[in-house]
Amino acid sequence: MDRLPGRGEYVSGGLSCLAGGHKPANLHQWGPGVRDVYALHYIVEGFGTFETGGAAYRLGPGDSFVIFPGCEVYYYPDLLDPWEYVWNEFAGEEARRLLALAAFEPEHPVAVATLAAPDLGSLFHTSWSPGVKPFERLRTDAGLRLLLSHYAERYARHEEEATDYVRVAKTYVERNYWNSSLTVQEIAGAAKIERSYLFRLFKEATGRSVSAYIAGVRIERACELLRGGDLSVQSVAYSVGYGDPLHFSKTFKKAVSVSPTAYRALHASPH
């Protein structure tokens, strides 16, 4: 677990909202310097400039910028029309991935407001107390995920959307491989995409069809069960989505070159 200086809290994986606030229009500026957390800012009114990575971005109402850990930044308001903004600080192993879904990267730390887009400022967590109860922390972390989901919906690039379809499909297979009635159509429905489009994206991303991926996951899990326990071949077959043990044995031998029984014997632990 990593302790975040000045927070008095421990963050272990996942995604944790550490603080949030509202900065009314004034001449406050920060930097140049680096932070040890992620900080997402949303400009409500006014203008200001955010500098990082050798670039300067002049931003206004509806625009956003992210401070990435370890990246030197400097931000300051416009002298004549200073910005008002809300912000959230957060950390965790999922933070970088979730920001990337909204096309935020250290080399691309800003998001410019889109026309007719709904206001995101109301979704920011803008109050904080170091003595929050566990259920309050859960709600705050959930609220941060909701906020980032709106950013992902609005700003995701097409290629990232395609990658996300494949990720959703793979995750669905890995959670439902045990179901003998699992179909590609069902997986496409879970990913909210046409079957033919999913087939093309999946093939491009993995080099395999969705059906081949299902079979691969099932055989891989079967190998784990055969190596690690005393389940009968029939039970292993049912556990990985094969209603017919004979069909399972034939499929397994074709994939692994030996029968399930022989595979277990080869990997049996010596007594």
State the pTM of this model. 0.58
In the prediction, which pLDDT does 163 show?
58
Answer for the pair 64, 124: CB distance below 8 angstroms, yes or no: no
Claim to verify: residue 132 and residue 183 sit in the same structural domain: no
Mean pLDDT of 164-179: 91
Q: Note down the domain range covering 229.
A: 157-271
pLDDT tier, 101 (very low <50, low <70, confident <90, very high otherwise):
confident
Claim to verify: residue 164 and residue 140 sit in the same structural domain: no
Claim to verify: residue 99 and residue 172 sit in the same structural domain: no
pLDDT tier, 161 (very low <50, low <70, confident <90, very high otherwise):
low
User: Alpha-carbon distance 81 to 229, whole Å?
Assistant: 69
Could you say which of 141, 156, 171 is where a domain stops?
156
pLDDT tens track for 212-221: 999 999 999 9
Alpha-carbon distance values, 22 to 30, 84, 116 (Å): 15, 8, 23
**Of 81, 21, 86, 87, which Cα lies nearest the Cα of 46?**
81
Q: The domain spanning residue 44 has which CATH number? A: 2.60.120.280
Claim to verify: residue 58 and residue 81 sit in the same structural domain: yes
| SS3 readout for 102-165 | CCCECCECEECCCCCCCCCHHHCCCCCCCCCCHHHHHHHHHHHHHHHHHHHHHHCCHHHHHHHH
At position 22, the amino acid (one-letter code) is: H
Number of domains in the chain: 2
pLDDT tens track for 233-248: 999 999 999 999 999 9
Answer for the pair 120, 64: CB distance below 8 angstroms, yes or no: yes
Claim to verify: residue 222 and residue 168 sit in the same structural domain: yes
| SS3 readout for 213-239 | HHHHHHHHHHHHHHHHCCCCHHHHHHH
pLDDT tens track for 178-212: 999 999 999 998 888 888 888 888 988 889 999 99
At position 178, the amino acid (one-letter code) is: W
In the prediction, which pLDDT does 114 show?
67
Q: What is the mean pLDDT of the chain?
A: 87
- Residues paired with 89 in a beta bridge: 19, 39
Percentage of the chain lying above the pLDDT 90 cut: 59
pLDDT tens track for 58-70: 999 999 999 999 9
Could you say which of 156, 191, 226 is where a domain stops?
156
Claim to verify: residue 136 and residue 16 sit in the same structural domain: yes
Claim to verify: residue 166 and residue 129 sit in the same structural domain: no
Claim to verify: residue 145 and residue 213 sit in the same structural domain: no
Claim to verify: residue 126 and residue 201 sit in the same structural domain: no
Could you say which of 130, 156, 182 is where a domain stops?
156
Claim to verify: residue 23 and residue 83 sit in the same structural domain: yes
> Is the pLDDT assigned to residue 89 strictly greater than 60?
yes
Claim to verify: residue 152 and residue 167 sit in the same structural domain: no
pLDDT tens track for 68-87: 999 999 999 999 999 999 99
